[in-house]
Amino acid sequence: MSNVKLAVIYYSSTGTNYKLAKWAEEGAKEAGAEVKVLKVEELAPETAIESNPAWKAHVEATKDVPTATLDDLEWADAIIFSVPTRFGNVPSQLKQFLDTTGGLWAQGKLTNKVVSAMSSAGNSHGGQEQTILSLYTTMMHWGAIIAAPGYTDQSAFVSGGNPYGTSVTVDQEGNMVEDVEEAVKHQAKRTVQVAEWVKKGME
């Protein structure tokens, strides 16, 4: 039984990354971790959300999901982020949250957190890899330990083969093109496993 505390922190406008986050939760719980699924605060204006029926429906469907706080980061041994790409970078909603972590960083409270990331985009070369790598740059500043999935499981080859973190293409109807569920669960289990090793090494 793992003693790892995992925060799965996501941003999702129409539901793809929420689904990835929930699969990560399943995989981590199978590995014995204590898991919190948390969204970052929505910053888009109400008019933008109202004009997109899928976005509006998702906001309503996930209104009871807790919003991530700095206390959640301090609590967690490991963190999995799941976000869509925005021009090859992380969404402003997540960036805003990360930009509030300076106090924890200055106190060394983000050092040795085990982190991993997932992403999505509207086409197969839409910036998924770059979004994950952009996020990992912040994690390096934290002094975090990146647990990338690499090719440590056959599921990587079914899901599109992104070694930095599971990523998925979403078609115009909002459907996932690649079969990524098992890759997400493997990535979560691997993140928990690495966090276990780190915790044991620090005891």
Domains and CATH numbers, the chain: 5-202 (3.40.50.360)
Own/partner contacts of 61-65, CB < 8 Å, gap of 24 or more, are 61/15, 62/12, 62/18, 65/18, 65/37, 65/38, 65/39
The total number of residues written for the chain in this structure: 203
Write phi, then psi, for 136 (nearest 5 degrees). Answer: -65, -25
* pLDDT confidence of residue 51: 95
* pLDDT confidence of residue 191: 98
Write phi, then psi, for 53 (nearest 5 degrees). Answer: -55, -40
Which pair of tokens denotes residue 174? 């909002």
* pLDDT confidence of residue 79: 98
pTM (predicted TM-score): 0.96
pLDDT by residue for the chain (203 residues), tens digit each?
Answer: 569 999 999 999 999 999 999 999 999 999 999 999 999 999 999 999 999 999 999 999 999 999 999 999 999 999 999 999 999 999 999 999 999 999 999 999 999 999 999 999 999 899 999 999 999 999 999 999 999 999 999 999 989 899 999 999 999 888 999 999 999 999 999 999 999 999 999 77
* pLDDT confidence of residue 173: 87
